Amino acid sequence: MGEARHLTCIVCPKGCSIEALIENGQIKEIKGNKCKRGAEYARMECMDPRRILTTTVRVYGGEAPLTSVKTDKPLPKCKIMDCMKYLNQVRLTAPVAVGDIVVENILDTGVNIIVTKKVDTAC
């Protein structure tokens, strides 16, 4: 007998209740999704969960002490805390612009950290 995972799909506003049956590390059946996107969401969430990471990074010499940053694509969920620890040590120097890459390929994940809020140099 396998493991049943119960998920609420977040791909669209319908919020389908999805059940994924997992046996021997493989998905055997997905039920409850009303579209293909829901099935793909359940498959990814069960086998390789990923999240967009948003946080802040310190900025020296700027009109603000922090800037907001995020991943340019979803990051493996198991790497989030390690990435947060890494980013806690990062220091930028003003000015920084939206879209600037803060860390390229963070922790060898293939994911970049980018600036999402401009910070100009302090007067």
Domain tally for the chain?
2
Q: 87 near 113, Cβ under 8 Å?
A: yes
- What confidence tens digit (pLDDT) does each residue in 22-71 have? 999 899 999 999 999 999 999 999 999 999 999 999 999 999 999 999 99
Which residues share a beta bridge with 54? Answer: 70
The reported pTM is: 0.84
Looking at the structure, tell me whether residues 41 and 59 fall in a common domain.
no
Same domain (yes/no): 38, 80? no
DSSP 87: H
- Looking at the domain assignment, is residue 59 inside a domain? yes
Q: Which two tokens stand for residue 121?
A: 């140099």
Domain residues for the domain of 58 are 54-115
Domain stop point among 16, 32, 48: 48
Q: Are residues 10 and 32 in the same domain?
A: yes
Residue 41: φ, ψ to 5°: -60, -50
